[in-house]
């Protein structure tokens, strides 16, 4: 009986040691771990494939320039991703009416292209150069913003980018004598007329065109007036005739003088000037007076010689 009790006590003691020593809980933890390992997971071959797409980017998508600019050039990068094999993408550019375009590779010089082959495995983008210009029959495009669209397409895979060309107003004015000659004559104290044409050679209307003059090397008292005195609106390409009345001062000595004529709109964005050589003449009456004085002097000398000759 004592042996049985001793064995019983030894067995209970061993079980307690096993429980407190972690030998019994280990299988439970292992079973819990095995439960997590049995959860389903996707293998690499079962992952969703990457979407095929073509992306177009441009570092400078908006370009601006004054009117009369011959072209706008855009450098565009194309990146094809998601595919397994190279594909050929057709290139198309949509420009406003009155404009034309050309497409060239960035390294192909002036050769134009209509499509590009892109490898999706390469890490760097391909670059093309798109040049947009006004058509040959349009000398001066209207100022404003012009949208441009560049598209690359291969089957159902398409991509595009929106660009913009801004043409700013160009203000220019031109003065030209009606005779083509920059010289005239004027009599001192009398009206003398000189005609010029004022032309708007820019790309925007000119408002309130004013005229001014300056006489170089002449005495005070010269009068220079304009008819009309100013022009309210001078449209693009239009010209107006302006009469300039040049009246030298009464005491002007005969000779050549320089008169500077200038024109500018009120905004001051345009300016032009011409120098006109004015040959000043003395009035006819003074010529007759001079002739009379010469005759009187000669007559006096003749009388003196006659009297001295008698003595």
Please choose, from the candidates 263, 180, 254, the residue with its C-alpha nearest in 3D space to the C-alpha of residue 219: 254
Instruction: Decide if pLDDT at 239 tops 50.
Output: yes
The count of structural domains within the chain is 2
Average the pLDDT over 268-282 and give the result. Answer: 92
Instruction: Decide if pLDDT at 288 tops 70.
Output: no
- Calculate the CA dihedral of residues 201, 203, 206, 211 and round it to 10 degrees: -20
pLDDT top residue among 301 and 105: 105
Residue 73's CATH number: 2.60.40.10
- Of 148, 168, 188, the residue that ends a domain is 168
144 and 181: one domain?
A: no
In a domain, 12, yes or no: no
Q: Where in the sequence is the domain holding 83, given as residue range(s)?
A: 53-168
145 and 84: one domain?
A: yes
Helix H or strand E segment including 101:
strand 99-105
Return the half-sphere exposure (C-beta side, CA atoms, 13 A cut-off) of residue 82: 9
258 and 151: one domain?
A: no
142 and 186: one domain?
A: no
pLDDT digits (tens, 9 = 90+) for 79-126: 999 999 999 999 999 999 989 999 998 876 678 999 999 999 998 999
237 and 143: one domain?
A: no
In a domain, 251, yes or no: yes
185 and 147: one domain?
A: no
In a domain, 9, yes or no: no
195 and 132: one domain?
A: no
Phi, psi of 136 (to 5 degrees): -60, -30
164 and 177: one domain?
A: no
Look at residue 28 in the predicted model and tell me its pLDDT. 36
In a domain, 44, yes or no: no
In a domain, 82, yes or no: yes
59 and 126: one domain?
A: yes
pTM: 0.62
In a domain, 13, yes or no: no
Question: Tokens 């300056």 map to which residue?
Answer: 214
178 and 124: one domain?
A: no
Look at residue 186 in the predicted model and tell me its pLDDT. 92
pLDDT digits (tens, 9 = 90+) for 1-47: 445 455 555 565 655 555 455 544 444 333 334 444 444 554 544 44
In a domain, 122, yes or no: yes
130 and 163: one domain?
A: yes
158 and 211: one domain?
A: no
Look at residue 109 in the predicted model and tell me its pLDDT. 66
pLDDT digits (tens, 9 = 90+) for 131-164: 999 887 777 788 899 999 999 999 999 999 999 9
Look at residue 73 in the predicted model and tell me its pLDDT. 94
Average the pLDDT over 157-177 and give the result. Answer: 94
- Of 168, 184, 212, the residue that ends a domain is 168
Q: Max CA-CA distance within the chain?
A: 205
In a domain, 192, yes or no: yes
Look at residue 286 in the predicted model and tell me its pLDDT. 53
- Of 115, 136, 168, the residue that ends a domain is 168
């Amino acid at each position: 009986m004592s042996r049985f009790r001793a064995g019983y006590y030894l067995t209970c003691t061993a079980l307690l040691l096993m429980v407190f020593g972690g030998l019994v809980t280990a299988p439970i933890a292992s079973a819990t771990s095995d439960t997590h390992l049995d959860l389903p997971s996707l293998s690499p071959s079962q992952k969703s494939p990457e979407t095929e797409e073509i992306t177009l980017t441009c570092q400078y998508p908006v370009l601006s320039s004054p009117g009369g600019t011959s072209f706008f050039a855009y450098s565009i990068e194309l990146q094809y991703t998601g595919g397994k094999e190279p594909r050929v993408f057709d290139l198309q550019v949509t420009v406003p009416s009155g404009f034309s375009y050309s497409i060239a590779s960035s390294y192909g010089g002036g050769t134009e292209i209509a499509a590009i082959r892109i490898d999706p495995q390469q890490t760097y983008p391909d670059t093309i150069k798109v040049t947009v210009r006004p058509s040959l029959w349009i000398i001066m495009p209207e100022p404003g913003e012009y949208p441009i669209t560049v598209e690359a397409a291969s089957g159902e895979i398409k991509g595009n980018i929106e660009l913009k060309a801004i043409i700013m107003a160009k203000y220019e004015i031109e003065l030209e004598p009606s005779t083509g000659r920059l010289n005239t004559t004027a009599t001192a104290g009398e009206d003398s007329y000189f005609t010029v044409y004022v032309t708007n050679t820019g790309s925007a209307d000119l408002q309130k065109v004013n005229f001014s003059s300056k006489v170089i090397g002449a005495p005070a008292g010269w009068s220079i007036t304009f008819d009309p005195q100013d022009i309210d609106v001078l449209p693009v390409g239009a010209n107006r005739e302006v009469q300039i009345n040049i009246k030298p001062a009464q005491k002007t000595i005969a000779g050549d003088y320089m008169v500077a004529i200038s024109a500018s709109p009120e905004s001051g964005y345009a300016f032009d000037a011409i120098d006109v050589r004015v040959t000043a003449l003395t009035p006819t009456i003074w010529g007759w007076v001079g002739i009379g004085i010469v005759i009187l002097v000669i007559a006096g000398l003749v009388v003196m010689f006659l009297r001295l000759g008698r003595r």
